[in-house]
Amino acid sequence: MLIRRRSDIPASEITDERLYLNRRSFIATSGLLGVAAATGALPGCLKASPSDEQGEDKLTPYRDVTTYNNYYEFGTGKDDPAENAGSFRTRPWSIAVEGLVKKPAVYNLEDILRPVTQEERVYRLRCVEGWSMVIPWLGFPLAALINRVEPTSQAKFVEFTTLHDPRQMPGQRRPVLDWPYTEGLRLDEAMHPLAILATGLYGRPLPNQNGAPLRLVVPWKYGFKSIKGIVKLRFTDRQPATAWNKAAPSEYGFYSNVNPEVDHPRWSQAKERRIGEFLRRRTLMFNGYGDQVARMYAGMDLRRYY
């Protein structure tokens, strides 16, 4: 996993995807990433990285990342979000922090972003339908915001809520889900350094169809856990209800960790198709991040807590 500060991203990478990809290819082939991962020689590179048993993780093209989306607030088709979210207003934007915290408040997005350092993190995104992407996200650790609001000792979970605005979000005019969309993490999951709040991708601001202006990214879980258009965080001592678990509890569990040994009732999870590739590849436990996250689930039955 490559991490860079926003100030490290040259303008050429932001304006031209080909230059962006060429530079990453040069760095990878020159061996600098491997050296940095082993020695910590380059600032911004983590020693821990996801395992890749099936060759190099190539970035999914920007066009695919921004036109093939699950965002039911804008429609259930994969191309609906890109077609319907263009006029969605993301400013002004505020996030309410409620529940078991010492500093509950309604924060302007700019006030949340001002004290944090945004970095680039290249993460896999795995979806239950059997497809996946590799995306360079721009964002900051969720833990930075959590530490700022100071959860009490009673807080065990974080509940996230998406904006509910059927005037702007045509998908919410139909009872496809119990709106507004909600998701949740155990507090230790939310505090894990791999969990980020994303504000952009490919060095550019986050497109509306990808969850602007603020979305969650949890790379070891299925993509539907990465809630978009966040307007509220609520800290609680009880496991919160989540949108897909309410809609289909036999298909979507609270934890939703990538586990190829547990099939979705309507399809296998053993293999996946990386967008842009023809052949399917074997799905990795925890999406390949097991070395970093498996300890959080030690002793749990991952077939029962799916």
The confidence score (pLDDT) of residue 57 equals 85
Nearest to 62 by CA among 283, 275, 288, 280: 275
Measured in residues, the chain has a length of: 306
Contact by Cβ (8 Å): 81, 223: no
Structurally, the chain folds into a number of domains equal to 1
User: CATH number of the domain that 133 lies in?
Assistant: 3.90.420.10
* Residues 279, 273: Cα–Cα separation, whole Å: 7
Nearest to 73 by CA among 188, 260, 203, 224: 224
Does a structural domain hold residue 11? no
Does a structural domain hold residue 209? yes
- Residue 114's identity, in one-letter code, is R
Does a structural domain hold residue 102? yes
Residues in contact with 122: Cβ distance below 8 Å, sequence separation at least 6, in sequence order: 1, 2, 57, 59, 134, 135, 136, 137
| Secondary structure (3-state) at 226 | coil
Compute φ and ψ for 213, nearest 5 degrees: -95, -5
The confidence score (pLDDT) of residue 216 equals 98
If one counts every other C-beta atom within 10 angstroms of the C-beta of residue 210, the result is 22
| Secondary structure (3-state) at 189 | helix
User: Which residues in the chain show pLDDT less than 70?
Assistant: 1-56
The confidence score (pLDDT) of residue 55 equals 52
Buried b (16+ CB within 10 A) or exposed e, 115-134: eeebbbbbbbbbbbbbbbbb
Does a structural domain hold residue 139? yes
The confidence score (pLDDT) of residue 48 equals 36
The confidence score (pLDDT) of residue 33 equals 32
Residue with tokens 């749990």: 300
Residue 55, exposed/middle/buried by CB under 10 A (0-12, 13-18, 19+)? Answer: exposed
The confidence score (pLDDT) of residue 69 equals 98
Q: Tens of pLDDT along 67-117?
A: 999 999 999 999 999 999 999 999 999 999 999 999 999 999 999 999 999
Flag whether the pTM goes above 0.75: yes
Does a structural domain hold residue 37? no
Does a structural domain hold residue 103? yes
If one counts every other C-beta atom within 10 angstroms of the C-beta of residue 28, the result is 15
Residue ranges making up the domain that contains 219: 52-297
Does a structural domain hold residue 196? yes
Does a structural domain hold residue 33? no
Q: Would the CA dihedral through 164, 224, 128, 20 be positive or negative?
A: positive
